[in-house]
Chain A
Amino acid sequence: QKEVEQNSGPLSVPEGAIASLNCTYSDQGSQSFFWYRQYSGKSPELIMFIYSNGDKEDGRFTAQLNKASQYVSLLIRDSQPSDSATYLCARKGYSGAGSYQLTFGKGTKLSVIP
């Protein structure tokens, strides 16, 4: 069973709307969560990191974490066509011997329609 699950999409939203991307995970020991944005053919780039329950805001982006329900979400306000990309959710959990590793979801493709 994949540890990090995302709806593959595509998720289409009109320009200016709020895009809501969701991710669920199965490991209750998960500590930190990351959102990456990946444009087609390009490398993933880190946009948000969250480790505490609740919301974390950075500009137009808000990450939300609910450890009891084991989900994490990313909200993009005032969506722009340039936000069209695949968004990867990743959880960082303890992998033994004092180390932590990221496990990635397969990503959700977002399309912002002008």
Chain B
Amino acid sequence: DADVTQTPRNRITKTGKRIMLECSQTKGHDRMYWYRQDPGLGLRLIYYSFDVKDINKGEISDGYSVSRQAQAKFSLSLESAIPNQTALYFCATSDDWEGAGYTFGSGTRLTVV
């Protein structure tokens, strides 16, 4: 099984619908992150969490919300999806020391029509 699992892998939804992307991890890491990736714009941080009681906005949090249900689970919601939220979404986890890199999930390709 993958260390960081994202569901669904692909999703097509209509404008205005609420959608939730889920992420679970078996790494035992406290830190979890949600990114979106668009061609030419690179990875952009949406939200991050350093533990179950900690939620922080990233650079592009408008239109998104998150929930950290447990150490292993971090969900991203789009309350009312719009077409410009069409992107590839990645969840990532990390340990909390300086030399720790991020482990990414396999991604969710979201299309809003």
Residues in A lying within 8 Å of B, measured CB to CB: 8, 31-32, 34, 36, 41-46, 49, 51, 88, 90, 92, 99-102, 104-107
Q: Which of A8, A43, A101 contacts B104 (CB 8 A)?
A: A43
Report the tally of A-B residue pairs with Cβ distances under 8 A. 51
Complex interface: stretch among B13-21, B39-47, B66-74, B78-86: B39-47
A32 and B42 form a contact (CB under 8 A): no
Taking the nearest CB of chain A, how far is it from the CB of B46, in angstroms?
13
CA of A106 to CA of B44, assembled, Å: 9
Give the number of residues in B that approach A within 8 Å (Cβ atoms): 22
B42 and A106 form a contact (CB under 8 A): yes
B99 and A8 form a contact (CB under 8 A): no
8 CB < 8 A contacts A-B: A34-B101, A43-B107, A44-B90, A44-B102, A51-B99, A100-B96, A102-B101, A102-B102
Instruction: Using A41-B88, A99-B50 as known contacts, say yes or no to A46 and B42 having CB atoms under 8 A apart.
Output: no
Which residue of chain A is the closest to B105 with respect to CB atoms? A43
B40 and A32 form a contact (CB under 8 A): no
CA of A43 to CA of B5, assembled, Å: 12
Q: Which of A42, A49, A100 contacts B106 (CB 8 A)?
A: A42
**Minimum-distance CB pairs A-B, first 4:** A106-B42, A43-B104, A46-B101, A104-B43
Q: Which of A31, A36, A90, A106 contacts B41 (CB 8 A)?
A: A106
Is B98's CB within 8 Å of the partner chain A?
yes
B98 and A92 form a contact (CB under 8 A): yes
B102 and A106 form a contact (CB under 8 A): no
CA of A41 to CA of B90, assembled, Å: 11
Instruction: Using A42-B106, A43-B106, A99-B50 as known contacts, say yes or no to A105 and B42 having CB atoms under 8 A apart.
Output: yes
Question: For A99, what are the chain B residues with a Cβ–Cβ distance below 8 Å?
Answer: 50, 96
Q: Which of B90-111 contact A (CB under 8 A)?
A: 90, 94, 96-107, 109
Instruction: Using A32-B98, A51-B99 as known contacts, say yes or no to A45 and B104 having CB atoms under 8 A apart.
Output: yes
